[in-house]
């Protein structure tokens, strides 16, 4: 791991990034990395505290002569999305992330990298350490469980922060200032599983969809990438017409990730197995052509299962309702913003489907920069689920962050970047949930901007960080801290 970051600058940022990459830190498993931050603060002689939710706050005094400057909070989240390729043997509860350098990018070996938001955390730790920097009083807020619903920020202890200026370090485009984000909600559907004994005269086969890029359900929703659940559904509908029966379905694992892989165990009448095989092959060719530009590695396969066949299949009525619901379920961009060019305003993601012995569960995620449109698209999804006979639920509701291009910290950041790099930074909003929305609710006077280096394909094993952008981001952040006040 050390060789992957050897010689990279700024050295302390990459050193800390490598250190936290050794610590398992999936959402809701941040205790060890939170303790690492507390121990680092103690080693550096800095005041630190932790609230009941696990969020950590570290305070660093102003550099000499800067004591009267307004306090600034630097904020990032400790957790990461845990996704891996199907053929990768990796336990996110105990195994370190394996860092791999490829030319000008850093990636992980078959898993998510955790640069979202490991770079923000590492940057904050490096600033905590460096006593040569010029800045006013600083607070470092490390939140937990951002990726599964922003619950750390939502449950932040009242009065935890003193600062009224906040720099969020969790966006993914160097040279851009993010000043707004979408809000969102997850809409859930659950059916009581209803099985019957497997019919005789059938062949058990496994249907697989693999090779898709997936990605972040907000940032990548407009890229036209394939959704493994929607692709699987199209093939299952074709097999259903041939008399196939579904024994199990499994696809997706995160509410905020476009599903990359899916599989189903199906029982196909023996007399139809050749036609079923040909049907899947033909559909695979069609589907690959549809997504060739964005997902050239798509694989759709049907293989006979050796050994004992499945003991039960979904009853025909439930199977039909499930397939119709999946087919009718919207996925993708619903509306583009009329105010900000290129910004997705509203979207929905069909994220997870799983069958168990007792139930069938579906997870979808809706986002919008307009609260009323979140309600509308969530109602649309709920209506589809209700028509399909599912019990409806919801979770992970979070507010958006309304852009304020005239804020003092935004103006300061714009002028600082322009003076450093000879061009204006982009000023944007993001179609994703940032903790700024929740922090703005808790601290209505908080003046905020979000910045970061350039990342790609977050929430997937293709996640990468562009190495040269980290130094630019670091230098810009330090300049903003110097210029505050």
- Report the distance separating Cα 221 and Cα 347, nearest Å: 7
Annotated catalytic residue, options 30, 83, 116, 146? 146
Task: Specify which residues 366 forms β-bridges with.
Answer: 185, 348
DSSP secondary structure code for residue 306 in this structure? P
Q: Each residue of 377-407: b (16+ CB within 10 Å) or e?
A: bbebbbebbeebebeeeeebebbbbebeeeb
- Report the distance separating Cα 484 and Cα 251, nearest Å: 48
- Report the distance separating Cα 180 and Cα 418, nearest Å: 21
Cβ-proximal residues to 447 (8 Å cutoff; 6+ apart), any chain: 164, 165, 166, 407, 408, 409
* DSSP-based three-state secondary structure for 102: strand
- Report the distance separating Cα 259 and Cα 215, nearest Å: 8
* DSSP-based three-state secondary structure for 421: helix
How many residues can be counted in the chain?
A: 485
Annotated catalytic residue, options 79, 83, 174, 295? 79
* DSSP-based three-state secondary structure for 326: helix
79 is catalytic: yes
From the list 337, 332, 334, the residue with the least C-alpha distance to 429 is 337
* Pairing state between β 72-77 and 99-102: unpaired
**Residues annotated catalytic, as ranges:** 79, 146
């Amino acid at each position: 791991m050390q060789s992957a970051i050897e010689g990279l600058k700024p050295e302390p940022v990459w050193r800390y990034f490598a250190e936290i990459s050794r610590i398992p830190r999936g959402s809701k498993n941040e205790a060890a990395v939170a303790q690492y931050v507390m121990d680092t603060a103690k080693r550096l002689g800095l005041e630190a505290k932790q609230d009941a939710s696990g969020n950590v706050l570290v305070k660093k005094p102003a550099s000499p002569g800067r004591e009267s400057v307004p306090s600034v909070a630097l904020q990032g989240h400790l957790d990461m999305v845990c996704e891996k390729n199907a053929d990768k043997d990796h336990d996110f509860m105990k195994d370190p992330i394996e860092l791999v350098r490829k030319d000008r990018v850093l990636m992980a070996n078959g898993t998510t990298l955790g640069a979202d938001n490991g770079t923000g955390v590492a940057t904050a730790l490096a600033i905590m350490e460096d006593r040569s920097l010029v800045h006013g009083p600083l607070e470092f807020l490390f939140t937990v469980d951002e990726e599964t619903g922003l619950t750390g920020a939502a449950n932040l202890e009242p009065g935890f922060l003193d600062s009224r200026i906040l720099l969020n370090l969790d966006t993914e485009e160097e040279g851009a200032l993010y000043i707004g984000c979408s809000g969102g909600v997850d809409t859930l559907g659950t059916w009581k599983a209803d099985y019957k004994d497997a019919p005789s005269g059938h062949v058990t086969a496994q249907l697989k969809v693999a090779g898709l890029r997936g990605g972040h359900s907000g940032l990548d929703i407009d890229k036209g990438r394939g959704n493994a659940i929607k692709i699987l559904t199209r093939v299952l509908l074709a097999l259903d017409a041939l008399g196939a029966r579904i024994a199990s379905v499994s696809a997706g694992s995160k509410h905020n990730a476009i599903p990359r892989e899916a599989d189903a165990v199906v029982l196909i009448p023996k007399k139809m197995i050749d036609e079923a095989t040909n049907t899947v092959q033909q559909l695979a060719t069609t589907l690959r052509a549809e997504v060739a530009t964005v997902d050239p590695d798509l694989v759709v396969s049907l293989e006979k299962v050796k050994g004992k066949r499945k003991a039960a299949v979904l009853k025909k009525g439930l199977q039909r309702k499930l397939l119709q619901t999946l087919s009718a379920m919207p996925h993708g961009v619903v509306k583009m913003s009329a105010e900000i060019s290129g910004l997705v305003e509203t979207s929905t993601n069909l994220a997870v489907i799983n069958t168990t012995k007792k139930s069938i569960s579906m997870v979808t995620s809706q986002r919008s920069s307009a609260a009323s449109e979140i309600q509308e698209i969530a109602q649309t999804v709920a209506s589809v689920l209700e028509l399909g006979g599912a019990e409806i639920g919801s979770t992970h509701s979070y507010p958006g962050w309304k852009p304020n291009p005239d804020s003092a910290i935004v103006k300061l950041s714009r002028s600082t970047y322009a003076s450093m790099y000879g061009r204006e930074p982009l000023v944007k909003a993001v179609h994703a949930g940032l903790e700024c929305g929740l922090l703005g609710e808790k601290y209505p006077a908080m003046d905020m901007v979000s910045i970061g280096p350039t990342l790609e394909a977050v929430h997937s094993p293709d996640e990468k960080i562009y190495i040269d952008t980290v130094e630019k981001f670091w230098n810009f952040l330090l300049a903003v801290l110097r210029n505050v006040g």
